[in-house]
Structure 1
Amino acid sequence: MLAFFSGLGLGLSLIIAIGAQNAYVLRQGIRREHVLAVVIICALSDAVLIVAGVAGLGFVIERMPWLVVVAQWLGAAFLLAYGLLAARRALRGSDAGLHTDAGSRPQPGVRLAPVALTVLALTWLNPHVYLDTVLMLGSIAATHGDARWVFAAGAVCASILWFTALGYGARHLGRWLDTPRAWRILDGAIAVIMIAIAVSLVVQAVSG
């Protein structure tokens, strides 16, 4: 059980930090748009990456560092584009704040495909996920020997707990975000986060 709780604790410490993925999950949770799908995609993606890391994919990444560089440039481009869209919403405003009482159902006209593709891109085009979830977590799991898969199970549970809490807990913020001005502020904050991460990825790719 020690290995399980070690994986749970490390998984939470790596995933709770504010980032592009968490910001998007938070936004979807507040808007109550396809929250279940977003939570499932994030948790399953993390599970796949954790299993890959424990299975030895981290060794491949160490031997082929250019894979991380490619992810840095692709991730930077996507985050910059998404950040600019969020900035445009912040400047122009939207009617997002007028629908926070719609329950857990997706808002009319909001299709699942764009939401799913966005959360997949935010997850898989993030180079830090390969360095942290695959390389670091996989390396630490290896120190647990035969209990490494118990460690991995703890880390997977951490992802499930976090994304479920973030996605479904965010809806309680809707009462404070029921005006267009509040949503413009939120979109402005998301734009800053996305663009800042994009810039940091470019700096890392250039300096690396």
Structure 2
Amino acid sequence: MSYSDVVCYARTELPSIMPNLGALTLSSCDEVVNTPMLPTKFLCLKHLTICLRSGHSPYDYFSLVSFLEASPSLETLSLDVWKKPMNHETVFGHSPHLRQMTEDQHCYLKNVKIMGFSSAKGLVELTCYILKNAVLLECLTLDTNYGCTSRCSDSGSGRCGSFGNGLREARRAFRAIRTYIEDKLPARVKLTVVGPCSQCHKLS
């Protein structure tokens, strides 16, 4: 499913329309409404992919906890959040306190990948929620590259492409990972952090 506000629509309408849904891919070019917390469930959902593309409206990524709360059988979660680097409230802003939800263990979630990981406060809060509640989580991948996948090793030019403001945000994302996420990482979880090529872009 792909259109504006499709994430909110899917959370609100699909549990009753498609109760046996096992896999779901959502793509929204501009999600205006945060995902609501509702009592309805995706009891059979095992694989969830959500793509949030660039839009002008701010979005609270932490509201995606609603999908996790509604999907007790979820095994894989992939988030593609390529929004403009500064279209969010950074976790290093004026309100550093992280929100938390009531503990609700997720017994099947094993693989989580977030592409476009940034210092957005809601995104950091969502990741911390997953680390705390996904009791069998095995792999967590945080990709900070903001859509630039060309590396000096395969571009043929001897240097990676320019990241512009994305490089500045990648540095903040790495700082957010070190500050808020690494110390919450259970020993069983393999953390993979993907960032701009270290040969061409200094991140610290």
TM value normalised by structure 2: 0.20
**Structure number with bigger Rg:** 1
Bigger relative CO (Cα 8 Å, ≥ 6 apart): 1
TM value normalised by structure 1: 0.20
Answer 1 or 2: which has greater helix percent.
1
